Amino acid sequence: MTAYIITTSALTAVGLRHILHGTFGIEAHIAPSVQAVAQSQAAGESDLLFADEATVAANLGFFTPNKAKTVVITAATQHLDAEPHLISQSGTESDFIDSLESIIHSRQAAGAQPEQGKLSARETEVLQLVVAGCINKEIADRLHISINTVLTHRKNITAKLGIKSVSGLSIYAMMNGLVAPK
């Protein structure tokens, strides 16, 4: 298994490479930019791509076709347990390594995590409004539905995608072309 690390933080990149190689025996390369990975056509040869949120948002054209092997390094700490494409750099080293282990084992077992279900048109509208920062009442008002219906849609979105946090939903929506980064 090989990995590429594309992040603006040299410390994060070096630390992640050390952990991937030392703990999991994964050959990890630090790339200075998405363009460097694309030019060397290394993305086609790598099993995993690690990148920070800003890099992913700025280079959706590269990461969208590679979304099955992309892992986003985030500062978020809440509700990341069921999100195989997000890993938090906050918290303890043990938590970080446990998250990495979970991601690596899931990728080895299944190649890439398939989506559990497609969103309906209305769920997509709700997701877009959640990502835009709307609260449940605003979503209900804009779509002319009840707050309970909004809650049901959000529950269904979470169940289908396995993503609980707004930051995770935002990354999912950007990588699937449902919203454009701001």
The mean-pLDDT minimum among 108-112, 113-117, 176-180 falls in 113-117
pLDDT at 30: 92
Whether the predicted pLDDT of 79 surpasses 60: no
* 21 φ, ψ (degrees, to nearest 5): -75, -50
Alpha helices in 88-181 (DSSP H): 93-110, 121-131, 136-143, 147-161, 166-175
In this prediction, residue 123 has a pLDDT band, given cuts at 50, 70 and 90, of very high
Longest dimension (CA), the chain: 54
Contact (CB, 8 A) for 121 and 178: no
Taking the model in full, what pTM does it have?
0.65
The rounded Cα 139 to chain-centroid distance in angstroms is 24
For residue 44, give every residue at least 6 positions away whose Cβ sits within 8 Å of its Cβ, in sequence order, or none: none
Exposed/middle/buried for residue 12 (C-beta within 10 Å: 0-12, 13-18, 19+): middle
Three-state DSSP class for residue 117: coil
More confident residue, 94 or 154: 154
For the segment 126-151, the average pLDDT, to the nearest whole number, is: 94
Exposed/middle/buried for residue 181 (C-beta within 10 Å: 0-12, 13-18, 19+): middle
Residue 162: how many other CB atoms lie within 10 Å: 18
d(CA 33, CA 49): 12
Whether the predicted pLDDT of 99 surpasses 70: yes
Whether the predicted pLDDT of 113 surpasses 60: no
pLDDT digits (tens, 9 = 90+) for 27-48: 899 998 888 888 766 556 777 8
pLDDT at 125: 94
d(CA 93, CA 29): 21
pLDDT at 114: 43
More confident residue, 163 or 141: 141
Which of 16-25, 87-96, 138-147, 173-182 has the largest mean confidence?
138-147
Provide the mean pLDDT of the chain: 83
The sheet with strand 2-6 has its strands ordered as 27-30, 2-6, 48-52, 70-74, 86-88
The mean-pLDDT minimum among 7-21, 30-44, 144-158 falls in 30-44
